[in-house]
């Protein structure tokens, strides 16, 4: 039998450079709709990251260094001198004292109250600084030092730490997330600059002074590893984030939900679960290993972990019910003592529901109902129940739909829930929900008007709620410059309204968003005028701060609802008949 003649048709080869076609269709056809896109418009024809990335990193680094020329938290503010002094003091504590005394030393003067990785970081920076000038970290005699060379060193440590951890993690995340979402390279550059110029992060870390970006960098690296499908590294990086700052717990439910969901859906993968669990346990063990070995070594040399207590041994600060079962002369006792004290310092439940006025639910509710009159135990339970109720919906969705494109929405919604309802929230904790929400700029339609409007609103509101904190240390000018600059670059109020009314979208939804956001922007502007020119009544000296808290908490609640709504819609977890046909059509065109 004769064989069939071969088909003259040859299969079409796949293009090896899909990115170029995407750039052509997205970057070259459209014109920039906001100033930041216009500034980066010449880079749209570049296909090499090494042509654009160095320029971006130099520009954002210049802004960081320029911001650091201003004062800092505690500058000429005795007796405690603020966060700058706390970070400097931890460098001398970790370099001048045995490791067993780190969490016990002089707790009234900025006692160490962060997890071990912060202590190790402080030790490394203290060792490097001591090579330059040992007097900077001379225990007791260096308190409140305002040496200008020390200030340069401290500012440099923040920038270097950020360029070693936070910025590489952001660059890699934006590249992976944008490629996964089908976003052109030029658009990804614009998103990267917008994220790196986030005003709240620069103001808190590079002006007010802290190292939050180290923790945020590890979280971003964890999310980036999830996007790449490297779940073992995701666990390792997140343990590092927890080991640097306990605030990373804001993300813990989302990390757990995604990793567990990835082990169950679309099919059960027991091997993956065992590996992730084992790597997580091993990472925590390695994290505390220096403390364990240090406590044992100090005990072998007869070093007392609490020499300033004159030999008195009060009960362990927590787990007092175990005190009678522990032998102070046992080999393990110094380890238990140090680890228990570390946990006690890291989780300050004894300080109450809140210490200062923060734009969350409890501080806003305290204006109407004086919560301090209620028992501490009751407030703790109420905070726990409210927090669990707020984080359960986004994590339930993420667990059932462990999709990589949902990560920023789920992380943001979970962090907003913690910020609004958890225990002992600080103003700077708003950085945690703002990070994943801002990362949305690198995703599908991230620079479109809807997402840009909401991301911009959250960031502008977030930095506005930090104004009372910044004002106390005379940082009005960098606050105004960096905030208005970011608003101008992204086309946001009060400099522009270009982030609203996108053609082809639901008109009523756009009008509702514009009206709601506009009311908040107007209220923030009026508040600034009133705070500057109208003194509060004598019987209500905190009137403007309370107004800031109430408006901020309301706006943050809206951001939480929006993130949860977008997460639910994008996950397709609910029947499609619940969504308007117009919404389905708009999703298909994205």
Report how far Cα 388 is from the mean position of its chain's Cα atoms.
20
**Alpha-helical runs (H) found in 181-209:** 185-196, 199-201
Q: What is the pLDDT of residue 123?
A: 97
- For residue range 192-204, list pLDDT tens digits in order: 999 999 999 999 9
Among 435, 482, 63, residue whose Cα is nearest residue 245: 435
Mean pLDDT confidence for 284-300: 96
SS3 label, residue 362 = helix
pLDDT of residue 374: 86
What pLDDT does 17 receive?
A: 43
Number of residues that make up the chain: 590
- The pLDDT of 269-289, averaged and rounded, is 97
Mean pLDDT score of the chain: 88
What's the pLDDT score for residue 21? 39
Q: What is the mean pLDDT of residues 210-224?
A: 98
Phi, psi of 305 (to 5 degrees): -70, -20
Query: pLDDT-derived band of residue 585, with 50, 70 and 90 as boundaries?
Result: very low
pLDDT per residue over 334-387, tens digit each? Answer: 999 899 899 989 987 667 677 778 999 999 998 888 887 888 889 889 999 999
pLDDT at 106: 86
- Look at residue 354 in the predicted model and tell me its pLDDT: 73
pLDDT (0 to 100) of residue 577: 58
Q: How many CB atoms lie within 10 A of CB 271?
A: 9
- Among 153-167, 180-194, 280-294, 316-330, which stretch is predicted with the lowest mean pLDDT? 316-330
- Residue 590 scores a pLDDT above 50: no
pTM score, two decimals? 0.91
pLDDT over 60 (residue 322): yes
pLDDT at position 138? 92
Concatenate the DSSP letters of all residues of 396-434 into one string.
Answer: HHHHHS--GGGHHHHHHHHHHHHHHHSSS--GGGGHHHH
Q: Determine the straight-line distance between the first and last CA of the chain, rounded to whole angstroms.
A: 53
**Could you give the 3-state DSSP secondary structure of residue 318?**
coil
pLDDT at position 589: 37
Given pLDDT bands bounded at 50, 70 and 90, which one contains residue 50? confident
Q: What's residue 506's pLDDT?
A: 74
What would the pLDDT profile of 457-508 be if each residue is shown by its tens digit? 999 999 999 999 999 889 999 999 999 999 999 999 999 998 898 766 678 8
**Residue 436 near residue 412 (C-beta atoms within 8 A):** yes
pLDDT at 584: 46
The pLDDT > 90 percentage for the chain reads 69
Q: Please tell me the predicted confidence (pLDDT) of residue 587.
A: 44
Is the previous residue joined to 79 through a cis bond, with omega within 30 degrees of 0?
yes
Of 5 and 317, the structure prediction assigns the larger pLDDT to 317
pLDDT, residue 317, reads 67
Residue-wise pLDDT for 23-43, tens only, equals 333 433 356 789 999 988 888
Mean pLDDT of 509-518: 92
Mean pLDDT of the region 84-113:
93
Residue boundaries of the structural domains of the chain: 147-268+353-574
């Amino acid at each position: 039998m004769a064989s069939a003649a071969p088909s003259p048709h040859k299969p079409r080869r796949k293009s090896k450079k899909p990115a170029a076609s995407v750039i052509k269709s997205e970057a070259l056809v459209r014109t920039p709709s906001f100033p930041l896109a216009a500034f980066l418009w010449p880079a749209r024809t570049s296909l090499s990251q090494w042509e654009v990335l160095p320029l971006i990193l130099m520009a954002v680094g210049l802004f960081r260094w320029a911001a650091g020329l201003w004062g800092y938290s505690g500058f000429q503010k005795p007796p405690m001198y603020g966060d700058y002094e706390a970070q400097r003091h931890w460098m001398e504590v970790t370099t001048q004292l045995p490791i067993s005394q780190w969490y016990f030393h002089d707790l009234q003067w900025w006692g160490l109250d962060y997890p071990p990785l912060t202590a190790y970081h402080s030790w490394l920076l203290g060792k490097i600084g001591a090579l330059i000038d040992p007097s900077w970290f001379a225990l007791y005699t260096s308190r409140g030092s305002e040496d200008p060379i020390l200030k340069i060193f401290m500012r440099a440590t923040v920038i270097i730490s950020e360029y070693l951890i936070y910025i590489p993690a952001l660059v890699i995340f934006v590249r992976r997330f944008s490629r996964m979402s089908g976003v052109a390279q030029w658009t990804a550059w614009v998103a990267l600059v917008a994220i790196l110029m986030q005003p709240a992060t620069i103001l808190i870390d590079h002006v007010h002074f802290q190292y939050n970006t180290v923790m945020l960098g590890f979280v971003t690296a964890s999310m980036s590893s999830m996007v790449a499908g490297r779940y073992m590294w995701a666990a390792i990086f997140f343990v590092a984030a927890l080991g640097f700052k306990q605030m990373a717990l804001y993300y813990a439910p989302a990390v757990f939900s995604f990793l567990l969901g990835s082990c169950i859906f679309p099919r059960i993968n027991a091997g993956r679960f065992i590996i992730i669990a084992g790597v997580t346990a091993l990472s925590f063990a390695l994290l505390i290993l220096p403390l364990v070995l240090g406590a044992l070594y100090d005990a072998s040399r007869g070093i007392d972990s609490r020499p300033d207590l004159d030999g008195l041994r009060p009960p362990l600060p927590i787990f007092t019910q175990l005190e009678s079962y522990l032998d102070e002369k046992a080999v393990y006792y110094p380890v238990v003592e140090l680890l228990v004290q570390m946990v006690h310092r890291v989780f300050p439940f004894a300080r109450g529901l809140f210490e200062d006025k923060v734009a969350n639910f409890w501080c806003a509710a305290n204006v109407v109902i004086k919560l301090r009159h209620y028992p501490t135990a009751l407030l703790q339970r109420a905070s726990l129940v409210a927090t669990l109720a707020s984080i359960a919906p986004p994590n339930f969705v993420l667990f059932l739909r462990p999709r990589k494109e949902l990560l920023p929405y789920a992380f943001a919604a979970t962090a907003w829930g913690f910020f609004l309802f958890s225990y002992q929230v600080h103003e700077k904790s708003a950085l945690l929900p703002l990070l994943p929400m801002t990362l949305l700029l690198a995703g599908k339609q991230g620079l479109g008007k809807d997402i840009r409007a909401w991301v911009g609103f959250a960031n502008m509101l977030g930095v506005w709620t930090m104004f009372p904190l910044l004002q106390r240390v005379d940082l009005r000018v960098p606050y105004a410059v960096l905030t208005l600059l970011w608003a101008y670059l992204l086309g946001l109020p009060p400099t522009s309204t270009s982030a609203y009314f996108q053609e082809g979208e639901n008109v009523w939804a756009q009008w509702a968003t514009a009206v709601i956001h506009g009311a908040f922007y107007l209220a923030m502007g009026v508040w600034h005028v009133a705070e500057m020119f109208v003194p509060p009544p004598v019987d209500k000296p905190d009137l403007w701060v309370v107004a800031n808290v109430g408006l901020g908490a309301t706006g943050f609640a809206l951001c939480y609802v929006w993130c949860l709504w977008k997460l639910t819609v994008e996950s397709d977890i609910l029947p499609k008949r619940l969504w308007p046909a117009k919404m389905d059509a708009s999703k298909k065109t994205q």
